[in-house]
Amino acid sequence: MRYGLVGASGRMGQEIQKAFAEHTLCLTVDINGETCDDTPQVIVDFSNRMALPRTIELCRLHRAGLVVGTTAIVQEDIELLRKLGEEVPVVQSFNFSVGVNILKMVLRQFAPYLEDWDLEICETHHNKKKDAPSGTAILMREVTGRNCPTHSLRMGGVPGDHSAFFANEGEVLEFTHRALSRSVFALGAYRAAQFVVNAEPGFYSFEEVIACAPRKSSSL
């Protein structure tokens, strides 16, 4: 697989290069400029919102699919990505951890049974993360269908903790995901890139990528 990487010199850029080590990095974009040695099949962007217009330009120029994990994008950016999805496959997510996306599926399924319980969401990230609450916390709130209080902590080097707390007078039910390393997000991006190089044009979520994974058959 030939891939391009926006934000190649950043922390996530370095993690992505480790996850994609067996593949060819042929295009890079970072604060030092751009390099291009070949035509990428997919471009990966975990940088920042300001880079997104150029990322979209490069996808159109090279007819490359896109995996985008930028967290601070707004609805206007989502619409631009949807438009790009009419031409090439695009996977967009605020969190490329498989576990977080499974957590969202669980909340979507079971939150209706807890509608008369109190609900609050809490997320913790490293002290250099600027957006608060995180995109993942917002999505967790949305899948519950409730506009519940959402709390953000910015401390140390925490890669990402997300919890949903349900409580009534006698019980507390806690759903928590904890990322132990940034590598989980890079591995998720790799999984999405593998999906993109074989996908039809469209705008996809990472949940859809996970749902497309082959399942092992159980033997009796």
**By three-state DSSP, how is residue 152 classified?**
strand
Residue 48 labelled as part of a binding site:
no
Q: Token match 């190649």: residue?
A: 8
Residue 24 labelled as part of a binding site:
no
SS (H, E, C) 83-139: HHCCCCEEEECCCCCHHHHHHHHHHHHHHHHHCCCEEEEEEEECCCCCCCCCHHHHH
Residue 217 labelled as part of a binding site:
no
Find out whether 163 and 122 touch, Cβ atoms under 8 Å: yes
Catalytic residue among 18, 23, 104, 129: 129
Q: Helices 52-62 and 75-84 meet at what angle, rounded to 10?
A: 0
Residue 12 labelled as part of a binding site:
yes
Structure tokens at 76: 């206007």
The phi and psi torsions of 152 (rounded to 5 degrees) equal -125, 135
Residue 185 labelled as part of a binding site:
no
Residue 11 labelled as part of a binding site:
yes
Residue 170 labelled as part of a binding site:
no
Catalytic residue among 62, 125, 162, 177: 125
Residue 69 labelled as part of a binding site:
yes
Q: Token match 């994008």: residue?
A: 73
Residue 94 labelled as part of a binding site:
yes
Residue 126 labelled as part of a binding site:
yes
Residue 95 labelled as part of a binding site:
yes
Q: Token match 């990966």: residue?
A: 44
Find out whether 201 and 31 touch, Cβ atoms under 8 Å: no
The phi and psi torsions of 173 (rounded to 5 degrees) equal -120, 120
Query: Is 129 tagged catalytic?
Result: yes
Query: Is 125 tagged catalytic?
Result: yes
Binding residues for NAD(+): 7-12, 30, 69-71, 93-96
Binding residues: 7-12, 30, 69-71, 93-96, 126, 135-136
Catalytic residue set: 125, 129
Binding residues for (S)-2,3,4,5-tetrahydrodipicolinate: 126, 135-136
